[in-house]
Every structure is written in C-alpha cells, then in structure tokens.
Amino acid sequence: MCGNNMSLPLLAEAVTVSGSEKETAAMIFLHGLGDSGHGWAETLAAIQLPHVKFICPHAPKIPVTLNMRSTMPAWFDLMGLSPDSPEDEAGIKKAAENIRAIIEHEAKNGIPPHRIILGGFSQGGALSLYTALTCQHQLAGVVALSCWLPLHRSFPSASSGNKNLPILQCHGEMDYMIPVHFGAMTAEKLKSIVNPQMLSFKTYPGLPHSSCPQEMAAVKEFIEKYLPRI
C-alpha cells in the first residue's frame, strides 16, 4: 500500500506555504541532513505558483552514525557517503512510508497524487527519489537536488513500474560532500528504471553542496511544466 491511516506528526509540524488562489497541486520538499523545512520553505516561496502548495516537513531527530552518533534531524541513518557504504534499509523504508502517508493525506483532501511533485535536497532528495520510485501512485514528478538513489542495488526490481515518472536531477560541479560523479552514476541508474526521456540531469559549474538561482529557475520551470494550472 502507498501510505496508511497512521497519525501524521510530520505533516502536523511541517512548514506549509499556501498558494494565493485555489490549491490544485502540491510539492512536498524534504530538507537535507541536520537541517529543517524552514529554509527550504523560504527558498521555494520565491518560485511559487499561485495554485501550488508547498509542504516542507522536518525530519525526526535520530543518532547518525556518520556524525559519531550525534543526534540530529535525519530522515534515516547514514553510515557513509560513498556508493558502497552500508545503508539503513529499515530506516529508509520506514521514512518512505511516512512520506507516502503525507501523499495519501493530500489525496484524501483533494490533491491527487498525479498533481503532487516530490522533491528534496541531499538526504531529502535521496528519500524523495526512493519514495517516488517505489510508490504505487503515479506522481507528477520528482526534483532531486545534490543527491543519490538509496538502496540502488535493489533497483529496478524494487520499482513500482511507473516508467514515465518525470525526474529533474540537479548537482553542483564543486560538491565535495556528494561529488557530482555520484550524481552522474545515479542518473545512469535512473535510466534503467524510468524512460530515459523523462530524466533531466543538470550540473552547475562552481556550485558546492548547495543551491543557486539558476537551479531554482530550473525547478520552477519543472513545476510549471508538470503542475500546470487547471
């Protein structure tokens, strides 16, 4: 199942940026490790369309192995940042289920999954990719910034089979946290999961593990294309 009737603390505490007219679409955006939804809500508000609602949940605080078990906001545990690092499979799957529950909630309240884009930055982008690719619903698209595909060895068999899922993947060419070649490897993997024509992989010279106005302009264009006013 894609979500359930569980309580939704992630949604209750999320930063929501309401549209200026009737909301017929939504973007759920997941922040990176150690961050919160507040900063991304401000960034996204600058590119908002009047009929689109932005939902920016906060990750729960958990001990993170990569940071000496320090407790911080994280969607799942991270053991390392290389493609061969061990992964928190149970945590990734639980986090994806929590995000799917938000999608289900929005659907029950009038915004169907095909009018929802899932997006995120770094660890949040990784979770958005995994969630969208394993969700039984056909979403409007995925925005994956400076990230990778979790549990990549489980694909394409783990995919729900939605081959025509639009994906915008962006990466800074000076990213030393998640190197751009990891992004390129992810893009190649994604081409084996979805129709390659549905994937756009953009890189930005001089950009570190961060975002930039040019990247946000690409995100806005993607939203305009796949969440048109109806």
What span, in angstroms and rounded, lies between the C-alpha atoms of 20 and 93?
A: 34
- Residue where the block lists tokens 């305009």: 224
DSSP states of the chain: ----S---HHHHTSEEE--SS---EEEEEE--TT--HHHHHHHHHTT--TTEEEEEPPPPEEEEGGGTTEEEE-SS-BS-SSTTS-B-HHHHHHHHHHHHHHHHHHHHTT--GGGEEEEEETHHHHHHHHHHHH-SS--SEEEEES---TTGGGTTTTS---TT--EEEEEETT-SSS-HHHHHHHHHHHTTTS-GGGEEEEEETT--SS--HHHHHHHHHHHHHHS---
Q: State both tokens at 113.
A: 């999954």
Task: Decide if 122 is catalytic.
Answer: yes
Catalytic residue among 88, 122, 146, 211: 122
CB 183 within 8 A of CB 176: no
Choose, from 51, 88, 128, 175, the residue flagged as catalytic. Answer: 175
Residue bearing tokens 């039984």: 136
The single residue of 159, 200, 209, 210 carrying the catalytic annotation is 209
- Residues classed as catalytic: 122, 175, 209
